[in-house]
Amino acid sequence: MFGNLFEEEEEEEGFSSTSSKGRVAKGGDEPPPPRGRSSLCGIKNQGGTCYLNSLLQTLLFTPEFREELFSLGADELGCLEDKDKPEAKVRVIPLELQRLFARLLLVDQQSASTADLTDSFGWNSSEGTNQHDVQELNRILFSALEHSLVGTSGSTFIHRLYHGTIVNSIVCKECGNVSQRQEDFLDLTVCVCGVSSLEEALWTMFVEEELFEGNNLYRCAQCNRLVTAAKTDGEDSDYTYELFSVIIHKGGCYGGHYHAYIRDIDELGQWEEEVKKVCESKLQEDDPLSVLTAIIAQESSKSVLLDQLGQKLMDKIGSSWSRKFRKHYGPIGKFLQSHNEVFLLVSNGTRVALKTNPSSPVTEPPGPAEQTTNSDPGSHWFDLNDSTVTSIRESDIEKQFQGKESAYMLFYRKTQLHRPSEGNEQHMAQEENLKLQQMREEFEATNNTVELRLHLAPSYKLENGALQPVSRDSDGSTALSFDRRKTVGDLRLAIYQMQELWEGDMALTVAKSLPAGLHLYNTLTDDTVSLYSAGIYTNTDLFVWNGREVCGGTVQTGAEWEPVLLTVVRPFLGENVEQEARGFAGGATLGEVKEALGEPKESLLCQEHKGGKRKEQGAGEGGGASGWRVFPPDDMQRTLKELSLKDGDFMLLCLLFLLSLVFITSVKHDVILQKMITFLSNVSLPQLLSEVKQRAIEELQLQEQTPGKILSNAAVHNHLKYTSTLKFVKLIKCMHKKQDLMLFCIFISLQSNC
């Protein structure tokens, strides 16, 4: 019956199938989700096409229309693959309608697209998405089908199925002659304003007797004169009908939304008895977090497409996000991102899910007054609202008679028509559904696969407060692709299988590559949790070890022990400045750093300071706007983290007598080093001390010949015979003993440009 309906010439929007060549949809393209609990397929809203969707679902659930359409084969309609061939006669509209109906009936997907069908109408994008009247569309669609089927066995099936006749009978009151006039119709327009029911409106318009009397007499053909007569319509039991579809409109005259209540005559879907939910805490409609969480939790997939979330919010609380929440909470996308502890954006940001599943609401069966009274076959109703299909009760139809949302177009079917139990056979759908299932599994696997970097302990050594690769030619990592839905225990087992020679315990610790080297943080201890719940994402580094030591060295873990990569500077007289990048554990004290550098106790540690108020300084003491700062003795017991030292900070290490030679100011460390090299290489000690003396006189406003305060040039030159470092230190001490404090203080704390 369905022939090659499932052979796509192009990929349908939101849907990709595997071709005969074995091409598989890209992992990044999400396949359509499966049908919901109703087992019925909805129709995607292209943007204002709800009126079309409601009518198409009604036609689909009309058994006689569906069977007449599917009875037309390729010998009469042609093949879509030949539609571009000039000599081919292809009837595109019925073929596209057949294909759409086949998908709605048989393919296991939540919703189907009408894009190909509207293209066959010749509609452009604006014609398809502009809101239209569903009654007008019904006439246009039937006319287009009749025109497309001219010359086929189905050329008259619209007329046969939907043709009606109004018989107006006028009875002469004098001779009893009956005159009848017939009028054909496709649909009836009924005015319900001012009447209490639809039956009253129909009776008033078509059944109630109309008298011709007084000035409004009727000319009888039998009597051949004006007579009193009555116009009426006799009852005919052969033409009784029952309601099976109600197309509902919500909104005003110039816009709104359509959806349809349809009776499932052939029992195509799975109708569910309504279950009242008693939540542990009543839904707070003024709390957007509570509302959005409840909406997502009610979905079978526990996720919602972002472009459908607004409509579901409207259905839930009867108001849009912009009207109720935007003023206080901003755009809905920004709100979701700001609550990333609750919501998770997946599928490349097109779908939102919950990070943790909320507690399931307690349910209770309906009360006695709510029990379904009609359980006859084909008596169940569904609400088909674009992509969403839900079970409803027959009593819900009565609520659609008035108000902003009310019944607009009613479809009736003769009560004498009966359906066989095999009204809907599953033809050729199994292969297509298997393809869809495979696509979903492949997509889920791709979407949940994380790329991990495993660092094995035998490939590392502990050096300078961090883990370093044993081999400089390799980073020591091994790539592993793994499903984040699996548990930590599954990952551990997989690594055991990869490392057949591994012996003893195996600890998996989250690691991070820092400038100083690899550092370890938290260890995964619960083998029962999934990688997703454990916070493992793609590109995560995992260190595989015994959990205690690496190459005999104890490894400190955690953020407080993050290593810091410092640049250690050592100045020398008459020589280039030595510079070394070296890492230290963040939890190490400054005294331990000094000891690790192997320097004598009398050496000083200084930190480059780039300005700021004294209270904002991370370490060290001293005045001036910028330059080097000496770490005081109390800082020797503080850790690098406590001193706020960061990667790339410079640390000066020198003896006391060299301190003044490097107290220069600069913002960039390369300028500092260049000035130090130039300065120490080109100046002599007599010149330097002379400048110190002159600077003291200028800064302190002293007289040059003030006795006992400043050493004269001659006095300084007398000490130049002390050429060794030890002797020069003695010179400084000598100055201190002589209480030349002014000069001594300037000598060791100059902080301006030399």
- 694 and 728 both lie in a single domain: yes
Picking from 333, 361, 389, the residue at the C-terminal end of a domain is: 361
> What confidence score (pLDDT) does residue 55 get?
94
Q: Which domain holds residue 617?
A: 563-681
Three-state secondary structure string covering 543-607: EEECCCEECCEECCCCHHHCCEEEEEEECCCCCCCEEEEEEECCCCEHHHHHHHCCCCCCCEEEE
**The CATH number of the domain where 353 resides is what?**
3.30.420
Q: Which of the 8 DSSP states describes residue 358?
A: P
Structure tokens at 539: 């590109």
Provide the 10 A C-beta neighbour count for residue 120.
22
Picking from 310, 336, 361, the residue at the C-terminal end of a domain is: 361
Give the bridge partners for 514, in sequence order: 517
Q: 265-285 as b/e, with b when 16 or more CB fall inside 10 Å?
A: bbebbebeeeeeeeeeeebee
Burial of 107 (0-12, 13-18, 19+ CB in 10 A): buried
Farthest CA pair distance, the chain: 157
Q: State which residues of the chain have pLDDT below 50.
A: 1-27, 275-281, 358-373, 424, 574, 612-626, 657-688, 696, 699-702, 705-754
Picking from 681, 700, 723, the residue at the C-terminal end of a domain is: 681
Residue 410 lies in a domain: no
Residue 698 lies in a domain: yes
**The CATH number of the domain where 535 resides is what?**
3.10.20.90
- 628 and 707 both lie in a single domain: no
- 516 and 584 both lie in a single domain: no
Residue type, 290: S
Q: Look at residues 628, 652, 724, 656 and name the one whose alpha carbon lies nearest to residue 685.
A: 724
State how many domains the chain has: 4
> What confidence score (pLDDT) does residue 690 get?
55
CA angle 359, 387, 429 (to 5 degrees): 105
> What confidence score (pLDDT) does residue 84 get?
83
CA distances to 59, 66, 156, 186, 446 from 411, rounded to whole Å, are 10, 15, 20, 11, 46
Q: Look at residues 535, 537, 559 and name the one whose alpha carbon lies nearest to residue 341.
A: 535
Q: Strand 111-112 vs strand 42-43: parallel, antiparallel, or unpaired?
A: parallel
> How far apart are alpha carbons 199 and 614 in whole angstroms?
90
Overall residue count recorded for the chain in this entry: 754
pLDDT digits 0-9 by tens, 146-160: 999 999 998 899 989
- 567 and 677 both lie in a single domain: yes
Residue 202 lies in a domain: no
Residue 580 lies in a domain: yes
- 517 and 475 both lie in a single domain: yes
Please provide residue 687's backbone torsions phi and psi, each rounded to the nearest 5 degrees. -65, -45
Q: 633-653 as b/e, with b when 16 or more CB fall inside 10 Å?
A: eebeebbbbbbebeeebbbbb
pLDDT digits 0-9 by tens, 161-172: 988 888 888 899
Residues assigned a catalytic role: 50, 257
- 352 and 297 both lie in a single domain: yes
Give the bridge partners for 184, in sequence order: 165
Residue 339 lies in a domain: yes
- 533 and 642 both lie in a single domain: no
- 677 and 567 both lie in a single domain: yes
Residue 120 lies in a domain: no
> How far apart are alpha carbons 685 and 201 in whole angstroms?
117
- 660 and 674 both lie in a single domain: yes
Burial of 436 (0-12, 13-18, 19+ CB in 10 A): buried
Three-state secondary structure string covering 408-438: EEEEEEECCCCCCCCCCCCCCCHHHHHHHHH
Q: Where are the alpha helices (DSSP H) in 304-381?
A: 306-317, 321-324, 326-329, 332-338
Q: Look at residues 13, 43, 49 and name the one whose alpha carbon lies nearest to residue 126.
A: 49
Residue 18 lies in a domain: no
Residue 107 lies in a domain: no
